[in-house]
Amino acid sequence: MESHTVEKPSVTMLGLGAMGTALARTWLAAGHPLTVWNRTPARAAALAPHGARVADSAAQAVAANTLVVVCLLDDTSVGEVLAGVDLVGRDLVNLTTSTPAQARARATWAHNHGARYLDGGIMAVPPMIGVPGGGGYVFYSGSRELFERHQETLGVPVGTTYVGEDAGFAALHDVALLSAMYGMFAGAAHAFALIRREDIDPVALAPLLADWLVAMIPAVHQTADQLRGGDYTRGVVSTLAMQVAGTPTFLSTAEQQGVSSELLSPYFDLMRRRLAEGGGEEDLTGLIDLLVR
């Protein structure tokens, strides 16, 4: 009885920085035929011993396969690398970090050049790529049909989450989550600054801080429910008025510890503004309305 080995879908990878290289290595390890190109040829050549076909140009790499994955520095780089390249009939998956507006414009550009288009926002760092259960994933937006066609291949390096037909939605989800991350980092930085000059081991504080942040996660879901329902007073435990009354304690403590309040003050300013507008019985959700112009 003959056995037939089904060849896995082939992929072209443009861009071999840390993330692009991690993606490429994972596809190669999984047995996907891979054509690679990078502006710095040595990075592409380093993958040849692992089975990659190294293209001499971006045009040659794009011509090699239908599925073309791009992971470059920025949207400008994408335009430069693909300028003059024949994209007709190609399935272009752009994992380059961009704004929603850039993603939408790039989708239109791709369609005008005869390509089908998916945009992706990578919610992972290179060490998470190719690690089962590593927690990373990629947001995808654009053609659902195109996503479903390549989902299995795209899911080899890291998980996939489709967020809509609008090509800008992947970038928007990406930036929204990363913005929340930086807010968390800012809060953690302020917390560590408060103890910096004291006889308190930051390593001992770290698990306490991490556990507290985890305990606050339900507030994210409550905020979402309040936004959807339009009632910012529903389920409130600590009203805005109560929380504003407590802000002087935080500011005084920072001053006494010799710590700048510049990370806290902008948020406290929003709280006071919402209170002045009559939102004292609300949750903090009302601050979002002040941010949306």
Asked if 170 and 95 count as a contact pair (C-beta separation under 8 A), the reply is: no
Taking the CA atoms of residue 217, residue 223, residue 228 and residue 231 in that order, the dihedral angle to the nearest 10 degrees is: 140
Among residues 123, 11, 142, which one has the least CA distance to residue 67? 11
Give the CATH number of domain 173-291; options: 1.20.810.10, 1.20.140.10, 1.10.1040.10, 3.40.50.300: 1.10.1040.10
pLDDT of amino acid 293? 81
Q: What does pLDDT average to in each consecutive run of 10 residues of the chain (293 residues)?
A: 71 98 98 98 98 98 99 98 98 98 99 98 97 94 98 98 99 98 98 98 99 98 98 97 98 98 98 98 98 92
For the chain, the structural domain boundaries read 11-165, 173-291
Look up residue 53 and give its two tokens: 């076909």
Among residues 290, 283, 266, 273, which one has the least CA distance to residue 223? 283
Rounded CA-CA distance 276/248 in Å is: 17
Say yes or no: do domains 11-165 and 173-291 share a fold. no
pLDDT of amino acid 5? 64
Give the DSSP H or E segment for 118: strand 116-123
Domain range 11-165, CATH class: alpha beta
pLDDT of amino acid 4? 56
pTM for this model (two decimals):
0.93
Using DSSP's 3-state secondary structure scheme, residue 234 falls into coil
pLDDT of amino acid 6? 72
**CB half-sphere exposure, 83, CA atoms < 13 A:** 6
